[in-house]
Amino acid sequence: MRYLPSQIRLFCLLSILVGFNLQSSKSQTIGKEDYQRAASFLWTNIENKTAFNLYTQPRWLSDSTGLWWVHHSPGAKEYRHAKFSEAKANPLFDHARLASALQGKFRKAFDAKTLELDRLEVLSMQKIKFVVEGKTYEADLNTYSIQAWKAEEKSSLSYESLSPDGKWIAYTEDYNLFIRSTETGAIHQLSKNGRKNYEYGSYYGWYDKMEGEGGERPRRFDVNWSPDSKYLQTYICDLRSANKMYMLDWSVDSLYRPRLLSYYRGSPGDTNMVYSIPTFYDISKKKQLLLDLPRLTHINSISFRWSETPGQVYGYYQDRGYQKAQVLQLDLPKNRIISLVTDNSKTNIDNFQYWLVEERDRLLFASERSGWRQLYGFDLKKGGIYPLALGAYYTHNVLHISDDGWVYFLAAGKDPERNPYHQHLYKVKVEGGEPILLTPEDAHHSISFAPNGKHFVDNYSTATQPTRTVLRHAETGQIIMELGKANVKALTAKGWKAPEVFTAIGRDGKTKIYGALWKPTNFNPAKKYPVIDHSYTGPHTQMFPKDYRRVLSVSNQALAELGFIVMMVDGLGTSGRSKEFHNYSYKNMGSNLADHVLALRQLAQRYPWIDLDRVGIFGHSAGGYDAGHAMLQFPDFYKVAVASSADHDFRMEKAWWPEMYMGWPVDASYHEVSNITMANRLQGKLLLVHGALDDNVNASATFKLAEALVKADKEFDLLILPSQRHGYRGIYQDYFRKKRWNYFVEHLLGEKPIWDFSWQ
């Protein structure tokens, strides 16, 4: 076949272009400038640097006449206050005069526009207290003189407790409980059978650590006097059969062999745990009351609140397994216990709460007995439970109960047309009725009440709507004044756009699940992007970014800048919605990622720029379990994962959390969802990370998973941070973040990672 000269030239040109494209596809497309841009979107480089007043913290004046707060703007920080009667923002003090006074005191420059007063307290409108260079000072706002703070003498009663009437001091000696008269000095021994590991007036500190096998735990002391000083309540801390967890501390530079550290920690199903035995004493008789109260583990021990009625106290506890909750009333003079409220569930009872309103003969409580977390009342005088405010929505918390009988509570999902994660403030009479909405704006409302309950501050925003902070009347919700408004001009000038909020359909085929997508600021819809699932399916919380501050504080934008789409979503099984929604994860936490996979598949049908052939995942703690589990349950879907501080096998976790969500006693379901037992299914790239001194989620499960992966001949990566606990701090957090970013850059993006760049 004969080619014409023009055809030959075209063929050569095409060959050159193809060669150029092949070469360019292999060249580095991510550079140091991308890393620097990513670092600029970290929360530490955003808060009050490129985005201001995303959340304004109110500080209430002690005389209940007003409040003060800090207002930020580019290059400035102003301390402001307002009186309720005036509803006008004023400087809290003369910033220039105080800066000048500080300069004279410390012989160094202080900028009036950017004063940093650590731990500032307003003692009165004439006097403030703050910390400079680690020392506490007070300033007179009339004269602007600065003096060292004359701290009150510290009480010598750190291991003693003075009765409210001042007549008795309770203390322990040789593991027994004593009281001493402040009038005569007479000593009375209230207990006699205390001994080491069976200790009166003590408690178990969750992070109490012992050095060496025979090391002592820190001394603990706690008692609870009745308001009239006639009774004393405390616990026996029973450590006799408690199991320990162990750690090796390699982080002490001057030591060349590790320190052995241990702490008491029961695992799911253990009976060898710390037990907490409640005890009461009649002070007039100097004797223990023989009440029929159960001996319970420290993870479900009884808590007590004194009644306004002398000699009466309320107790609350849950049976082990968290399927039964009870509120008790104890009549100490009659040595009688009455069960007031009992909640039962075939799954679990999570976040049971109760509130006392004795002046109206009421006890209020939150229960999911209707299928939604709702408020109920119990009539303390007549008996009987009644609904306070019922409906198909989730009640989060009671924030205030007014003297005239109004109950102020946060709830989400009451309006079915609104986002079910956005919380609003309502009020309802303590006797029940139709709730009244006090925060009508279609947003998430974060509320802080004044001590007297007559006003509240409302920071409201959404994932896409910047924060507005207002002061409101509690009675009506009417806005009195604006305290601040988020300023994100510097952020948007860098190309920042809020994440895209989306909905998908969950695994039941009908329920809407909610999430958000972060895109790089140089996003190109014509490109295909790998997607990273930022996961935490721990059933006690939510991941959906309800407010504007959260969409920035999670620093997902920083990771997106390296060339990824980052997703957060709450699937079935997470909290804050119906009981049915929550129950999907009960004894089934291994399936919590099913909705994440479904959401991504639905999003890929919607958006051609999502590349489902390149899906990664990361998470910390319970999210770390997710990251590891994703690679094992969905090995053909998730390709790269970073699992940090993870509880890879719930049988090795602290007892309460798995027993709440995986059930008790321990059964085969624990084995079935374990990452360790599924290790042979690994296909993609997995980085395991743990702090060696993690006393929350012990590193043993990460080591055990690593051992299982080696036995299964699976390639993986492991990073141990020898000095770090459950959360990583400072340079260790920076190092870990760099490793996580680069793991995705190399294995998901297919680019050469860059190590040397600045975090600033």
For residues 137 and 188, state if they share a domain.
Answer: no
| pLDDT value, residue 32 | 95
For residues 676 and 696, state if they share a domain.
Answer: yes
Distance CA 725, CA 2 (A): 75
Cα→Cα distances 98→112, 136, 451, Å:
8, 15, 29
Least confidently predicted of 127-136, 167-176, 705-714: 127-136
Q: Are 335 and 288 in contact (CB under 8 A)?
A: no
Please choose, from the candidates 570, 613, 590, 598, the residue with its C-alpha nearest in 3D space to the C-alpha of residue 681. 590
Is 620 strand, coil or helix? strand
- For 636-655, what is the mean pLDDT? 97
Rg (C-alpha) for the chain, rounded Å, is 30
| Category of 686 on φ-ψ map: left (φ > 0), alpha (ψ -120 to 50) or beta | beta
Task: Assess whether pLDDT exceeds 70 at residue 5.
Answer: no
Q: Are 543 and 621 in contact (CB under 8 A)?
A: no
| pLDDT value, residue 255 | 87
Task: Assess whether pLDDT exceeds 80 at residue 23.
Answer: no
For residues 185 and 217, state if they share a domain.
Answer: yes
For residues 119 and 192, state if they share a domain.
Answer: no
CATH of the domain at 547: 3.40.50.1820
Q: Are 725 and 693 in contact (CB under 8 A)?
A: yes
Is residue 175, in this structure, part of any structural domain at all?
Answer: yes
pLDDT band per the 50, 70, 90 thresholds, residue 150:
confident
pLDDT band per the 50, 70, 90 thresholds, residue 693:
very high
| pLDDT value, residue 353 | 96
Contacts of 221 (CB under 8 A, 6+ apart): 158, 159, 160, 161, 171, 172, 201, 202
Higher local confidence (pLDDT), 126 or 12: 126
For residues 189 and 308, state if they share a domain.
Answer: yes
Please choose, from the candidates 741, 733, 755, the residue with its C-alpha nearest in 3D space to the C-alpha of residue 560. 741
Domain that holds residue 118: 59-148
- For 453-476, what is the mean pLDDT? 98
For residues 616 and 715, state if they share a domain.
Answer: yes
Is residue 299, in this structure, part of any structural domain at all?
Answer: yes
| pLDDT value, residue 214 | 87
What are the tens digits of pLDDT across the range 52-91? 999 999 999 988 999 999 999 999 999 999 999 999 999 9
For residues 308 and 287, state if they share a domain.
Answer: yes
Query: Taking all residues of the chain, what is their mean pLDDT, rounded to a whole number?
Result: 94
Q: Are 184 and 198 in contact (CB under 8 A)?
A: no
Element (H, E) at 181: strand 176-181
What are the tens digits of pLDDT across the range 92-109? 999 999 999 999 999 999
pLDDT band per the 50, 70, 90 thresholds, residue 158:
confident
Is residue 269, in this structure, part of any structural domain at all?
Answer: no
| pLDDT value, residue 1 | 45
Task: Assess whether pLDDT exceeds 70 at residue 181.
Answer: yes
Is the C-alpha dihedral spanning 163, 166, 167, 170 positive or negative? positive
What are the tens digits of pLDDT across the range 453-463? 999 999 999 99
Task: Assess whether pLDDT exceeds 50 at residue 748.
Answer: yes
Distance CA 160, CA 341 (A): 34
Domain count of the fold of the chain = 3
Is the C-alpha dihedral spanning 590, 592, 593, 595 positive or negative? positive
Cα→Cα distances 545→240, 550, 577, 597, 616, Å:
45, 6, 15, 19, 20
Q: Are 649 and 675 in contact (CB under 8 A)?
A: yes
pTM of the model: 0.93
Please choose, from the candidates 737, 592, 569, 582, the residue with its C-alpha nearest in 3D space to the C-alpha of residue 650. 592
For residues 603 and 691, state if they share a domain.
Answer: yes
CATH of the domain at 235: 2.140.10.30
Contacts of 255 (CB under 8 A, 6+ apart): none
Please choose, from the candidates 228, 210, 232, the residue with its C-alpha nearest in 3D space to the C-alpha of residue 219. 210
Cα→Cα distances 555→210, 288, 545, 560, 757, Å:
36, 55, 12, 9, 17
pLDDT band per the 50, 70, 90 thresholds, residue 26:
very low
What is the phi/psi pair of residue 581, to 5°?
Answer: -60, -45
For residues 177 and 233, state if they share a domain.
Answer: yes
Is residue 701, in this structure, part of any structural domain at all?
Answer: yes
| pLDDT value, residue 112 | 95
Element (H, E) at 492: helix 489-493
For residues 186 and 107, state if they share a domain.
Answer: no
pLDDT band per the 50, 70, 90 thresholds, residue 153:
low
* Residue 184 amino acid letter: T
For residues 531 and 667, state if they share a domain.
Answer: yes
| pLDDT value, residue 152 | 62
Task: Assess whether pLDDT exceeds 50 at residue 623.
Answer: yes
Is residue 446, in this structure, part of any structural domain at all?
Answer: no
Task: Assess whether pLDDT exceeds 60 at residue 684.
Answer: yes
For the record, the structure tokens of 321 come out as 């397994």
Is residue 718, in this structure, part of any structural domain at all?
Answer: yes
For the record, the structure tokens of 313 come out as 């106290």
Is residue 525, in this structure, part of any structural domain at all?
Answer: yes
| Per-residue DSSP letter, 380 | T
For residues 71 and 180, state if they share a domain.
Answer: no
Is residue 339, in this structure, part of any structural domain at all?
Answer: yes
